[in-house]
Amino acid sequence: MDSVRVAVRVRAFNQTEKDAGCVCIISLALNRITIWDPRNRRNTKTFTFDLAYWSHSGFVRNEEGILIPDGPTSKYADQRKVFNDLGQELLSNAWQGYNTTLLAYGQTGSGKSYSMIGYGPDKGIIPLTCDELFKTIKQNQEADKQFQIYFSMLEIYNEKVIDLLSKHPGGLRVRENSQRGFYVEDVKLVPCENYNQIEQLMEEGTRKRTIASTNINVTSSRSHMIITVQFKQVFLKDHLTKQSNINLVDLAGSERQKTSGSEGDRLREGTAINLSLTTLGNVISALAEIAMGKRMLHVPYRNSTLTKLLQPALGGNSKTLMIATVSPADICYEETLSTLRYTERTKNIQNKAVINENATERLVQELKAENAKLQLKITKIRNSGKRVEEETAELRRLLAGNELLLVEIQTSWEQRLEKAQKEWKHQFVNLMQERFMIQMFPYLSNVNVDPQLTAFVRHFIQDGESVVGQSGNFPQAIIIRGLGYVETETNFFKKYRGVVGMPSGSFSKNIAEKHATITNQNSKVSLEPHGQARVILNGVLIHTKVKLAHLDRLILGSNSTYLYVGYPSERNNEDLSKYDYDFFQSELAKVEGFDREALGHMGRNNRSVDPSVLAVLYDYIRVKPMVVEANQISGDLHKDFSFDLEVKNLALTDSRGSDLTKEVMVKVTNKVTDQIWVWSKAKFVNRKFIMEDVYQRFVDGQNISEDRENDPFWDPIEAVHLGSAYVWLQSLSYCIVLEEHVEFRNSQGKEEAILQMNLVPCNPSGQPLGEKEILIDPTELVGHRLDFQVQITRCLGIKWLKENIKRGIQISYRVLNHPYLFHSEPVWNTVNAKVDHTMQFAVKCVSQELLNYLQNHALVLDLWGLQEGCEEMVFPGNFEVTDKGSIIIDYVGSQLLSNKDEDKGDEQFSELYIKLSKLEQETDLLRNINRTLRNDNVMLQTAINKMSDGRE
């Protein structure tokens, strides 16, 4: 039995994390990793793995451009160090004839591809391992021993298997037979003689992957890549073959969408995109439990393509390693923790690897015998006269497969190499040609959201005019295929039935047939967009001809991103990797007025302490292009929905006036009915993937079901949160009646409506208290009963209804810390609503704590927008009530202040407490000023209104 061996690698901060001033929340000692919660340092977790690598700090770039430790005391683990452990272990397994697998697991951007493949001179485990393999072979040449190496490269996306080394588009089939288990049919296995060939194949495969992923820019993080190096040692004298499959798997990004309660999307399971990774998790969990002694659990290998292909690696005939990659940044805490937990589970899995040794002769004999049997069966069936077409077809297929295998076995290594050589030559010519062009012409170099797929596609700009677009029907064309779809209307109808309200005219296209023209005259390059085509240069939308300068950034259509590289004479050996996808998107966001400076005022100081603000910025930059694409997909599919990205809680605070966590959200509008939905980021991202899936099927010419259940655009109509208003409770503690005019402000800080409401202290039967009962000293209230009414009278100037009068509103609020939400009755079809809501509350005995609460907190009222077809909001009402009908509030104070015996650091605590009270006093002062100003404001407003009324 061999346990799966697991390693964890902690990468350096990326640019975004550095910019955001992120804090490292991981420490590493030998093979133990400790991680702490950025919001509570005392909450730490420690994990132990077989190997752990610190690649976060203590490094320099040497003269070859490789990252290495910056001194003898540095604990930095460079690529070589990781290879020396993991790569060498793979090789040692392979030489002994074991199958061996290395899986890279982690969140997108955590360093899976860096570790497996590497970037530029920082070569990863796969290249270093292949290089080493060929070196060792050279040293071990013997007369009667032959070494054979075959290379294959597959991608699994959305359950389809794509051969990255084959010219054919389309997928391959996964089959199963008793001897081989699951296997991929017709995989291209390229025989290789040296390391350079492998390097070239990897480049070719990556290029194919890049081109596939430019259709929809995000697929690579959702696809798995499997590289297999088949290593055979043939002992010619003994007719024996020792064979090892070295599987190297760069898994899809492990990030999960939040699925808690209300965040859970009804369409979560509706897509296959997540299936492989989810199933992998289930398989690992089942195997881990079996290893811990649970009996005979079902292991769901068959549920996904990935797990079928990885069956030997997980609990089967393979020696398996896993490298989990993590970011140590505070903003990645949740994902990193979940990766560490996952990895911990994986290390329990037990495998049974055996040495794969085969006598070639025997294999040939076996295959021949089996074929004879198959032939016999077929003859029998035929003679029986029955028409069993299907059965014979299946037998024939098996027969043909075996014949092929026989031919394969009997084809000599030399013959195969010879065949491969021909292809090599062809590719070599292409490669040389591209190198030549790079030195001759300026070009557009692709920039993908996945840096591993960046700079793989180059469009050279030759002299004269070139037309950039979807179509190749121009003498000099630069063909760019983005999202967007060129089709005739008739075909559209054929494919996409059941479209209601089909607009006439042409569709919106992302990349137009003729999108822009690039002119190269006397070595001066300029670009001119066509018609309404979207062209963004360095973050700015352009409509007229512009000159291109070296390192200009171009976004064509919704999301085809290119870096312009000028003539060789303009190049200065710059580091092009600086211009990554985030660079493009930040630049765009900045022009749109959304950047760190804009958000900066919310940070406490220059470092912008608040990580949530920076997380929001990061989310914004990442989600924005997806929103653009969603709009594009919606347009192409003739859906009536538009999507807008907004930052929620930009201006909302809790009942103490502290900022709430900020997050991005997507506002969805049905442009025909005006109905509005608000989606969380998680829900949007999930829906976007399903939209891509639908879109892909549409482009592939399949019918798309109009089934609501699986429609990513459809959702039941709900009430929309429009904004919040705050009414300070302090007046209650003085038993003063408060008549308030306050604004409902939305998350952008803009006014949504004016609320008129009263907070009225009263006696138990509801009679308002008079002037005489006003308290000079609120502490008199302690120990006594307090009755008060919340009266909502009007809601005026409601923007939601100005936009569309068919709508309605409802107001909800929470009183003190009563668990239930109270609410007004809905009012429909009026901009100025008479609400008429009165509710009476009773506190049987006011405590000092409650008094403090009243002094420092506000009543938060939420304004909800009702729309056609939506249910009015019903809130659970199961309250304790006095005989007079008041709702009883049993105020239970906050745990922090009442838990006296728990905290031992008393002094520290009381010091903090003093600071806190001081801050509270200061806040109170500001709050009072604020309130006076606000009242003045209302008065002025009333005065102005009166004046203008008078004038009329």
Which stretches of the chain bind ligand ADP, using CB under 6 A?
11-12, 14, 55, 106, 108-114, 119, 253, 325, 451-452
Closer residue to ligand ADP in complex, CB, 515/622? 622
Closer residue to ligand ADP in complex, CB, 119/474? 119
Closer residue to Mg ion in complex, CB, 113/305? 113
**CA–CA dist 922, 925 (Å, integer):** 5
Closer residue to ligand ADP in complex, CB, 224/319? 224
Residue 56 CB, shortest distance to ligand ADP, in Å, is: 8
Can you name the residues that pair with 468 across neighbouring β-strands? 478, 516
Contact of residue 745 among ligand ADP, Mg ion, none (CB under 5-8 Å per partner type): none
Can you name the residues that pair with 813 across neighbouring β-strands? 822, 861
Residue 205 CB, shortest distance to ligand ADP, in Å, is: 15
Residue 223 CB, shortest distance to Mg ion, in Å, is: 9
Can you name the residues that pair with 791 across neighbouring β-strands? 758, 838
Q: What is the number of other CB atoms lying within 10 angstroms of the CB of residue 368?
A: 13
Residue 112 CB, shortest distance to Mg ion, in Å, is: 5
Closer residue to Mg ion in complex, CB, 452/466? 452
Closer residue to Mg ion in complex, CB, 112/347? 112
Residue 224 CB, shortest distance to Mg ion, in Å, is: 10
Spatial contact of 820 and 888, defined as CB atoms under 8 Å apart? no
Residue 10 CB, shortest distance to ligand ADP, in Å, is: 8
Binding segment toward Mg ion, per CB under 5 A, in 21-29, 113-121, 536-544, 759-767: 113-121
**CA–CA dist 359, 238 (Å, integer):** 8
Q: How far, in Å, are 49, 257, 718 from residue 260 at the CA level?
A: 29, 9, 19
Closer residue to ligand ADP in complex, CB, 108/230? 108
Closer residue to ligand ADP in complex, CB, 344/450? 450
Residue 126 CB, shortest distance to ligand ADP, in Å, is: 12
Number of residues that bind Mg ion (CB under 5 A): 3
Closer residue to Mg ion in complex, CB, 113/559? 113
Closer residue to Mg ion in complex, CB, 212/870? 212
> Beta strands 100-106 and 319-326: pairing type?
parallel
Contact of residue 114 among ligand ADP, Mg ion, none (CB under 5-8 Å per partner type): ligand ADP
Residue 503 backbone class (left: φ over 0; alpha: ψ -120 to 50; beta: rest): beta
* DSSP percent split of the chain into helix, strand, coil, nearest 5: 35, 25, 35
Contact of residue 315 among Mg ion, ligand ADP, none (CB under 5-8 Å per partner type): none
**Contacting residues for 874 by C-beta, under 8 A, at least 6 apart:** none
Which residues inside 660-699 make contact with Mg ion, applying CB under 5 A?
none
Residue nearest to ligand ADP (CB): 111
Can you name the residues that pair with 852 across neighbouring β-strands? none
The identity of residue 527, as a single letter, is L
Can you name the residues that pair with 540 across neighbouring β-strands? 537
Please tell me what DSSP assigns to residue 767: P
Contact of residue 111 among Mg ion, ligand ADP, none (CB under 5-8 Å per partner type): ligand ADP
Residue 105 CB, shortest distance to Mg ion, in Å, is: 11
- For 10, the enclosing helix (H) or strand (E) is strand 5-10
Contact of residue 655 among ligand ADP, Mg ion, none (CB under 5-8 Å per partner type): none
Residue 121 CB, shortest distance to ligand ADP, in Å, is: 12
Residue nearest to Mg ion (CB): 113
Spatial contact of 265 and 686, defined as CB atoms under 8 Å apart? yes
Spatial contact of 643 and 687, defined as CB atoms under 8 Å apart? no
Of the candidates 110, 113, 115, 470, which one interacts with Mg ion according to CB under 5 A?
A: 113
**Contacting residues for 377 by C-beta, under 8 A, at least 6 apart:** 395
Q: Could you give the string, one character per residue 437-476, with x where binding to Mg ion holds by CB under 5 A and - elsewhere? A: ---------------x------------------------
Contact of residue 55 among ligand ADP, Mg ion, none (CB under 5-8 Å per partner type): ligand ADP
Spatial contact of 749 and 662, defined as CB atoms under 8 Å apart? no
Residue 583 CB, shortest distance to Mg ion, in Å, is: 18
**CA–CA dist 254, 626 (Å, integer):** 19
**CA–CA dist 616, 721 (Å, integer):** 20
Measure the CA angle with vertex 945, ends 940 and 951; round to 5°: 125
Residue 58 CB, shortest distance to ligand ADP, in Å, is: 11
Q: Mapping DSSP to helix (H, G, I), strand (E, B) and coil, where does residue 314 land?
A: coil
Task: Check binding of 217 to Mg ion (CB under 5 A).
Answer: no
Closer residue to ligand ADP in complex, CB, 208/224? 224
CA nearest 400: which of 366, 382, 375, 381? 375
Binding segment toward Mg ion, per CB under 5 A, in 108-116, 138-146, 511-519, 652-660: 108-116
Contact of residue 318 among ligand ADP, Mg ion, none (CB under 5-8 Å per partner type): none
Spatial contact of 286 and 707, defined as CB atoms under 8 Å apart? no
Binding segment toward Mg ion, per CB under 5 A, in 109-117, 394-402, 741-749, 874-882: 109-117
**CA–CA dist 227, 288 (Å, integer):** 25
The identity of residue 224, as a single letter, is H
Which pair of tokens denotes residue 474? 């121009």
- Rounded to 10°, the helix 906-951/848-856 angle is 50
Torsion of CA 174, 176, 179, 181, to 10 degrees: 70
Tokens 């704590």 — which residue? 849
Contact of residue 12 among ligand ADP, Mg ion, none (CB under 5-8 Å per partner type): ligand ADP
Residue 117 CB, shortest distance to Mg ion, in Å, is: 8
Residue 220 CB, shortest distance to Mg ion, in Å, is: 7
Closer residue to Mg ion in complex, CB, 224/807? 224
Closer residue to ligand ADP in complex, CB, 81/697? 81
Closer residue to Mg ion in complex, CB, 219/307? 219
Q: Could you give the string, one character per residue 845-874, with x where binding to Mg ion holds by CB under 5 A and - elsewhere? A: ------------------------------
Residue 618 CB, shortest distance to ligand ADP, in Å, is: 14
Residue 97 backbone class (left: φ over 0; alpha: ψ -120 to 50; beta: rest): left
Enumerate binding residues for Mg ion (CB under 5 A). Answer: 112-113, 452
